[in-house]
A and B are shown apart, each in its own frame.
Chain A
């Protein structure tokens, strides 16, 4: 039998984390499925469980002029209901799972689960999100793409808890999100693209594109972005073919139970083309 810990504070949680080999449990929407057992028996957790979903000190969204700090136990529903948050950040979140999942699921859980199909991740990659992890001895900060190291693996150490996610408080002239799932709701993505751009006087001054479900982690297209930044809008048509070739080289999709490698490649390129050619013009 595993032990369960329900700390009263973050500090207590960090001490439990330090002194025990525990699995951190936020909303539980991934782990309850992963470790499910015969209905009516407890989940088969591989180790002791540290519940943090109830911790009030991690349940706030703090907004300054430049940053939005999302606490680890903020649910998707709380994020969606917060009127201070730019609408383009809500688009991927409102398509996650179902109402029930959005009521319980968290950004922190989605990040630590580190699935290449994680629905918050393409946006966080494109926004250059930072994650804050804490232990009893201090805190560390990572860029999201450095924090996630592979499918299901992150830099989180055994004594650390992810406490906050930081994204810029900014709006962009263009934003784009498309999730291709196996159906319109309650679906895991087969391929997804999140992109933002600033276009000023017909010139692309900033662009960031991230693709989900097309490799071991979400993939950020920095080479492509660098190539496009500074270009005139009128040049995009000419560049598109070489841009898409760069994308094709960068992504490494696979065949699985949900879709095929060839479909994922083709659709990822189609979506990026749709963003660069259609959406940016609007």
Chain B
């Protein structure tokens, strides 16, 4: 074991465990007042009129009239307003804020706002979007983006094929279910506006404030507060409450707190994209897979948000861990009048790997082959090219990963035994997660930099990476202190404040240790050389590695700077009376390079697996006429501690060539492979193909053959 992997006590541990941490809802600056969001109750309409009641003294309405510059939430496209002006496109779209000192009075004002809508026929699903006609939601087409890429000679291979195996899969919404809802406090001193809150990406909020206010960055400050979970749900979404709170503070000249209630949070914040994915494999006369046709459709919701980027990850991942020479891949992110879909741990990967892994399982079943051995035949290796024709420069140890997971779970003998034992099943999945931003995004869009400062014997880290429970306040200290070879308590690191932290990029995409950690290591190496100097600082910016290539027009080259790899096995038994899935065990093996802290890594693995388990078999979230039906924790069912099965995880040692101390990204991959492994196990147990997740006992009842 590497020395750096040895666990230490987390630096955020004591404050959180003793209840001392001040989360945004606990934060009450003097003179603070409250804001509440008035939202659309219809999924698509023109706003004909809006009547406000008389406001008592000290109460304000904040709406689009209060935006000094652009009424736009900057994400990828400029289509989403900060406040609706004359139309609404989803249930929960913000129209205005009611701001004032007493919550009771705010509620009274909210109840006395009357609004008249002229309803427009809404588009409420991928299927409806595919066949809809004008008026469109987004420009003059039913989708935000559609993509296509090719590899090899697809048409020739199709002509050569002797057999075609095809499948279609559906996946549902998923809610991030962070414990702390979206929360912001904004203050304004007449010159600078400061937004403090629960967030993943302080500089996304800085950018959103710059766009809405038209102000210079020197008048904008964003600080992360201790944050109660994020999981992607606090990537792009907090720009909306962040700007809202800032506008309210500027108008009222008082500190303003904006904290969502749970129901509001579930209804209005971003969700994982529902998908429909079809895959066709073409086989030659020797039953070799020679070509593959993949079509990914996502429900992006009412505004473009991050759908284009999620779709890219989805279509790259949908080819799986397999070297199939000839590919034709399409993807479409549709515009619908549902809640806006967005970032969620895995970011398009969980949908894609669910589909490709179920498809591989179904091919193995049709060819009567062992499901892991069939997959193994096509595993990508060092020197192969990816789905986007980027060369895999580093060693890929999928063989070893597969061997480990087979041995740990006793996969082969159980698989055979369950063929004759009713209602028992075991399934596997093989998957990867591309770490960091897509293609050259890291160098071209993000341009991350980091700063470290030496003051006598004390070192301080300044990065915009956020602590969202994943351990960044600990792992970054470890990277810096280990590089400098000094005791870790001399290294200081606080929650980010845009005033003194450069933009190190968002805390997303399993990139923080890999990219930001590496930049800090580079700084520390430089600092070590100049150790005799008493006080100085070093700023380091990202440089795109010279061995990588990417063409974003045709999606050709190295889609990601590095990859983490994994395999899961899930064993289930179906209750014959209730059709409930009893998960007997989950086995998980990963190559995440060298772990920076064993316990933090284990926490990420087990947490990710449980979230993947919820996605696979519990977390039903349906939009009915544009409204989510499960909007409380009574109806939106995430696993409780009693629902967590035994989890056996293991890491294989294969150091990254670019990450600090050989580490790769880890945050997302544990979620990615659970659903297909579980679904394959259920499929064996009931003998019926599973084509959608989550798999409920109600579904199993329909499919089960007793």
- Residues of A that sit less than 8 Å from B by CB: 33, 37-41, 98, 178, 180, 182-188, 257-260, 262-263, 266-267, 270-271, 273-274
Contacts and interface: CB of A to CB of B under 8 A. Distances in A.
Interface string B619-645: 000000000011000110101111100
Give the size range of B's interface with the partner: 20 to 34
A73 B641 CA distance: 29
B103 A267 contact: no
A185 B103 contact: no
A15 B580 CA distance: 49
A38 B103 contact: yes
A280 to B, nearest CB: 15
Interface string B331-352: 0000000000000000000000
Nearest to B578: A180
Contacts of A273: 577
Interface string B205-247: 0000000000000000000000000000000000000000000
B577 A41 contact: no
Given A185-B643, A267-B577, A267-B578, 7 more contacts: A40-B103, A180-B580, A183-B642, A183-B643, A257-B630, A271-B577, A273-B577
B578 A41 contact: no
A274 B577 contact: yes
- The A interface is mostly helix, strand or loop, or mixed, namely loop
Given A188-B634, A263-B697, A270-B578, A41 B103 contact: yes
Which of A41, A188, A257, A274 gathers the greatest number of chain B CB atoms within 10 Å? A257
Contacts of A39: 25, 259, 261
Contact of A263 (B629, B634, B643, B701): B701
Contacts of A271: 577-578
Contacts of A37: 107
Given A38-B103, A267-B577, A258 B640 contact: no
Nearest to B618: A183
Contacts of A40: 34, 103
A38 B579 contact: no
Contact of B640 (A184, A260, A274): A184
A113 to B, nearest CB: 14
B698 A41 contact: no
A182 B579 CA distance: 12
A180 B637 CA distance: 14
Interface in B92-124: 103-104, 106-107
A240 to B, nearest CB: 14
Given A41-B104, A178-B577, A270-B577, A183 B639 contact: yes
B381 interface: no
20 contacts: A37-B107, A39-B261, A40-B103, A41-B104, A180-B697, A183-B643, A184-B640, A184-B642, A184-B643, A185-B640, A185-B641, A185-B642, A187-B637, A257-B630, A258-B635, A263-B698, A267-B579, A267-B701, A270-B576, A273-B577
A37 B261 CA distance: 9
B36 interface: yes
B261 A182 contact: no
A186 B640 contact: yes
Interface of B: 25, 34, 36, 103-104, 106-107, 259, 261, 576-580, 618, 629-630, 634-635, 637, 639-643, 697-698, 701
Contact of B578 (A178, A187, A257): A178
Nearest to B638: A183
A41 B697 CA distance: 39
A20 B598 CA distance: 62
Contacts of A260: 698
A26 B701 CA distance: 39
Contacts of B630: 257
A33 B643 CA distance: 24
Nearest to A263: B698
A187 B638 CA distance: 10
A257 B636 CA distance: 9
Contacts of A98: 640
Contacts of B641: 185
Contacts of B106: 38
B574 to A, nearest CB: 12
A263 B577 CA distance: 11
A34 to B, nearest CB: 11
A248 B642 CA distance: 32
Ranked 7 nearest A-B pairs via Cβ = A184-B642, A270-B577, A185-B640, A263-B698, A182-B637, A185-B642, A41-B103
Contacts of B640: 98, 183-187
Contacts of B639: 183
A41 B101 CA distance: 12
A262 B697 CA distance: 12
A267 B700 CA distance: 12
A182 B618 contact: yes
A37 B111 CA distance: 13
B107 A41 contact: yes
B375 to A, nearest CB: 31
Contacts of A270: 576-578
B629 A38 contact: no
A38 B578 contact: no
A263 B580 CA distance: 11
